Structure 1
Amino acid sequence: MLISCGKCGKRYSVNDNRIPQGAVSVRCPYCEASVPLSASRLPEKKHKESELDETFREKSESAVERVFLKNTASFGGSIVFRLFMPFILVVLTVTSCILYSYFFSVPKLIEDQINQRAFALSRTLSSAISQPLVLRNYLAVNQSAALYAELPGVAYVSVQSRDGSLVTGLFGSMDRFDQNFARDVLARGFPVEIVHMNPIPEKATVSASNIIVGGRKIHDIGVAVRGNSGVVHVGLFMDDIDAAIMRSLRPLVAVIVLIFVAGAMGIWWVSSSLSRPLKKLTRTTEAIALGDFDKEVQIHGKGEIMDLALAVESMRIAIKSAITRLKNRQ
């Protein structure tokens, strides 16, 4: 029977069997005040017991319904999803920032290196042919130009005289150019219009420009020969920039993939170590909800999951003891 003290406000339960027959009041164990009893406590007891039974039955039915509908839960509510999604978002964000910074800065650095190489080749070639060009020793000029044209990555080398006429023009590798362009070069020789695509401004000694020759993007450097006796043009393939970017990108991609795989394996291990005992604990609580109070909670370990398992085991024992007492009273 549930009794409420009007003086101290305490509420507590009293066993009806321990109340003397015909008693009209009981003494509060907290403040020693007299608490009057209702004249119809037995019907009230039955009424409250019926309400408790109805409430327990409704909650039990609701628990059973949740047990049978558990398989409809979406993957989005699982521990694996909750751990993997933030990790994937972080990895994608960091990877995007790294790749953006990489493609924003590295191509410029590589292009600058190609520009420096083309300038160095043009400068050294102009120094090597300055005297033969003045002496009109075009055979020596052609031999020096041929040596530079054979270097890796060199598209072409050309030399102009003081009056702008083409002294020599040699391509490095015709296999990298368009086939139609290669046939025209073999038929007509070095195209003169190439040297006019990157003219050196007046009162300047160097000019750099990216041009298209034979379907290929070329970085052309024009350098005036000492004494203004002519102009040297050296063209380098820009395709090498893309190849260099991809080669330098491979280690970075490998590191990112390694970090992602290691992180995914770590998260999978953590989620598995959490989900396995939780699923086992869920099956035990479902059995308790279905009325199997003899199924013990068998989870070993430590930490919060073990504390939860001990709490469920205490609940199971308490429910089983309460049911046993109810059966004994009947």
Structure 2
Amino acid sequence: MSAYAIGIDIGGTKIAAGLVDGNGTVLVRGRRPTPGFDPAAVLATVCELVRELGPGGAGAVVGVGAAGWMDPEGSTVVFSPHLSWRDEPLRRDLERALGRDVLLSNDADAAGWAEYRFGAARGEDNVVCLTLGTGIGGSIVLDGELRRGRFGMAGEFGHQVMVPGGHRCACGNRGCWEQYASGNALAREGRSLLAVHGPVAKGMREAAGNNPHAVTGELVNSLAVAGDEACIELVVEAGQWLGLGLANLAAVLDPGLMVIGGGLGAASPLLLETAEQTYRSSLSGRGYRPFARVVGAELGPDAGLIGAADLARNALG
């Protein structure tokens, strides 16, 4: 098995790359903005990053974690709600362009695998991992194995319908979980509060320059951390929705540990505290069954590329 592998994490806003050793340590890094909605440009950017990693990555296998639904063989991105991939043969195209083996996986699966192997889930073989950011991604490790389901699409937790007929989602449905417990949900609720011109939104209005388009999930959370009462209320509401979804996952999968990462998960202790409280008060059979522990992820924004590299090393190295 090769000592090194290259990991690529393709997200809606950035593509991150790294040369990763067998202990999950990132030795060399690269990063580019995701080039809009052009699949050919995304492919070219990934190839550029792989070559940028230099002599240390020469001949190393490449693992790619991509924001989308994969076919069971891990060769085609069937659909991506946030990128313009539709039946995109990404692995084939990358292998042809790079002249080396590539392993393709969902980005949340890669991040969850990294936390299981090297991060917050070390020592626990039954784990649910969530990546909480623009939306909600997820991964499942049961009995020490990453589970992708019969059609390769398990772990799309953010697209379970929580509110029939609710807010429209990029996946085509309404009322998906990520429409109530994600960065996008916080931004939408913040903009809605700003639009009514009430006095409770004074701090948000000043921070956003009275521009609704400047209201992001990050802004709402940062104002909540600073003590803004209106933003605290929005974060608590999102945390309650998050906790209800965690209770659903625990009822179905019975994990020993639930790890919450992603940009919003790392930035909002209040969100996670509220989520755990709601999960504990909502779990079916509470009082007669153990609670899974709920913890924050440890590997931060590197989790996706670390996991993608490790999966590639194990399968192809």
TM over 0.5, shorter chain = no
With normalisation by structure 2, the TM-score equals: 0.21
Which has the bigger relative contact order, CA under 8 A and spacing at least 6?
2
Q: Could you tell me the TM-score, scaled by structure 1's length? A: 0.21
Structure number with larger C-alpha Rg: 1
In proportion to residue count, which structure has more helix? 1
